[in-house]
Structure 1
Amino acid sequence: MRAMLAALLADCSGWQSALDAHGRSAVSLKQLIIVIVVVCSLVWMLVMITLILALLRRREVRPATPSPRTEHRMTVAVTGAVVATILIIGSFTVISFLATHTLGVAGHDDLTVRVRGLQWWWGLEYIGPKPSDRFETANEIHIPVGRNVRLKLEGLDVIHSFWVPSLAGKQDLVPGRSNELTIRADNPGVYRGQCAEFCGMQHAHMALLVIAQSQDDFDRWSNAQQQAAPQPAEEELAAGLQTFLAKPCAGCHTIRGTAANGKTGPDLTHVGSRRTIAAGLFETTRGSLAAWIADPQTIKPGNNMPMVPLTPDELRTVSAYLASLK
């Protein structure tokens, strides 16, 4: 598993860090972090220098009441420290507001994606101007480069937190409340995100990918995602579809173009085109799909997918069918 995760992370653009910024919001937050760290470091150095000088200073017997000159110097020093503290904290407040204000700013013409946080995966719905433009996917957000994307964040079970550090700051997904976040990628690439709020035993295995691509590539991907799943032409794939519909799978998952219309689990219409399954846990291959279907609780304990009894032939055909859904 470690080797597989390393291979997946190797495809990402840079590293998952707020200091590796590739979007306007992320750049603003990076600059905010640098300013605060530099100023706090200077303050710490001044305090340490003052402490060292005080320790090294020769001690003398002084009267209980300081002289007017000494008292004046002390008053000036304390007053200066208080004023400096107020100015620093006030400046931090202002620049923090300006930096974080951009996280939720988006125009009415921006691409809109509804992001639902669940234990432990991400449900995504692309909202277009027409009902026919809408489609659902999971755990993988495709966005066009150089364009603001409005994310409407909703938590359906517990509090989650959406965080793609290279593109934007954190924003919570709270049940019963809708929050918004704007992300923008200035360069093509794959940016890894993570749930940043402890949401249960599989919190660490709730990752997502943001794939930034050219407008033409995004349009091609979007058009393909809007299509229903093709009818299987091969006998093995047709058998896999029949098994999927006959088992409880169809009660939890949707495959557009078939009778499967479940809403509990991720939409699987184009699951074979996604880079990962189980919210970033495995690379999407026929083998990993078969392993997940056969025993999801061993792979990701506590998740809401039950073990569905399948014969070896049924598992073989179902995994083949799902892998073919590009």
Structure 2
Amino acid sequence: MQHSVFSPMGPEAARIAELAWLLFLGGGAIFLLVMLALLLALGGGEGVRRRLGARRAILAGGVAFPVAVLSALLLHVLGVAAALGAGGREPALRIEVTGRQYWWEVRYPAQGITTANEIRVPVGRRIELLLDSGDVIHSFWVPALHGKRDMIPGRVTSLRFSLDRPGVLRGQCAEFCGTQHALMAMLVIAEEESAFAAWVARHKVPVAAPADPTLALGWQAFGRAGCGACHAIHGTPWAGRSGPDLTLLGERRSLAAGTLDNHQATLAGWIAGPQEIKPGNAMPAFNTVLDGKELRALAAWLESLR
């Protein structure tokens, strides 16, 4: 899983990584140069100190050198910024991402898909993310993908990129947004075009009532507990929008925006007591609403959504 600016997965992140290396190496070289001058001033002879303190040396080292270096760096940074901000070719896929306390809503308008906390993209295609916020200021940052983008309520910003190889990239909200800001992660899953097309096709298959008795009990528990008031599942009577869409929930790698690994046991624990796991989130506890059998059945049914 990539979560470093020094492990770029696409051309935009590679430009940012090159700029970071330039700053680190250039800053290190200048630091060593200054330390060398300091050592010469402290330990050199009278002639060395006299030359270092001469007007010409001060103007060269204290004025001309910084102006030349910073001017060159400014021009280079402006070039990188222009390249990152250039529109380029028209994006082949647009994805809408809304930051919420404390999760990410992800929508594919052209495909009619809504999901949460994971962004699936095909390798080699130009992608555009349209970013906004549903409550407070968030910041979208996937270090191996691109730079940061603030997500401000009432304003839509965009982020264009492409990925050159498959992989899983981890991202994080980079703007303090409340008590669970640190537990607001996301994954960007880059996959081959055929795998992405298969994922889109699976999302369009309506979820039918299960025949298995245990899974059927979980289906019934979902409806009886009122989960559909907040959550949607494609093809079912439930179409809530205030919580994450749960279609294909069983395929997701994590729960609660990267807080837990996703499997039946963690699903049951999250449903029973989400406030003990991630205090301050909007999910109520259902340990007093569902008995143990219903809770296990509901977790099993949700895990089966693939």
In the superposition, the TM-score normalised over structure 2's length comes to: 0.91
* Percent identical residues: 40
Structure 1 partner of 2:139: 161
Contact 1:286 1:323 in 2 (8 A): yes
Give the SS at the match of 2:108: strand
Structure 2 partner of 1:6: none
Does 2:271 match 1:293? yes
Equivalent residue runs for 1:1-326 within 5 Å: 12=1, 15-58=2-45, 73-75=54-56, 77-79=58-60, 81-104=62-85, 105=87, 107-128=89-110, 133-308=111-286, 309-326=289-306
Contact 1:106 1:149 in 2 (8 A): no
Give the SS at the match of 2:207: coil
What CA distance in whole angstroms lies between the structure 2 residues aligned with 1:106 and 1:203? Answer: 33
- Tell me the amino acid that sits aligned with residue 30 of structure 2: V
CA RMSD, 1 decimal: 2.3
What CA distance in whole angstroms lies between the structure 2 residues aligned with 1:212 and 1:230? Answer: 29
What CA distance in whole angstroms lies between the structure 2 residues aligned with 1:94 and 1:230? Answer: 59
- Tell me the amino acid that sits aligned with residue 101 of structure 2: Q
Structure 2: state its 5+ residue gaps.
none
Cα 1:71/1:21, change in 2 over 3 Å: closer
Cα 1:149/1:106, change in 2 over 3 Å: farther
Give the SS at the match of 2:171: strand
* TM-fit CA distance, 1:29: 0.6
Give the SS at the match of 2:26: helix
The count of aligned residue pairs is 302
Segment drifting more, 103-112 vs 248-257: 103-112
What CA distance in whole angstroms lies between the structure 2 residues aligned with 1:50 and 1:72? Answer: 11
What CA distance in whole angstroms lies between the structure 2 residues aligned with 1:189 and 1:283? Answer: 18
Segment drifting more, 210-219 vs 42-51: 42-51
What CA distance in whole angstroms lies between the structure 1 residues aligned with 2:93 and 2:84? Answer: 15
What CA distance in whole angstroms lies between the structure 2 residues aligned with 1:57 and 1:108? Answer: 61
Structure 1: state its 5+ residue gaps.
1-11, 61-65
Give the SS at the match of 1:268: coil
What CA distance in whole angstroms lies between the structure 2 residues aligned with 1:204 and 1:172? Answer: 16
- Tell me the amino acid that sits aligned with residue 17 of structure 2: K
Contact 1:143 1:211 in 2 (8 A): yes
Structure 2 partner of 1:7: none
Segment drifting more, 229-238 vs 149-158: 229-238
What CA distance in whole angstroms lies between the structure 1 residues aligned with 2:78 and 2:285? Answer: 48
In the superposition, the TM-score normalised over structure 1's length comes to: 0.86
Cα 1:238/1:169, change in 2 over 3 Å: same
What CA distance in whole angstroms lies between the structure 1 residues aligned with 2:27 and 2:67? Answer: 14
* TM-fit CA distance, 1:310: 1.3
Give the SS at the match of 2:175: coil
Contact 1:103 1:181 in 2 (8 A): no
Segment drifting more, 116-125 vs 316-325: 316-325
Moved >4 Å (runs of 4+): 70-73
Contact 1:25 1:99 in 2 (8 A): no
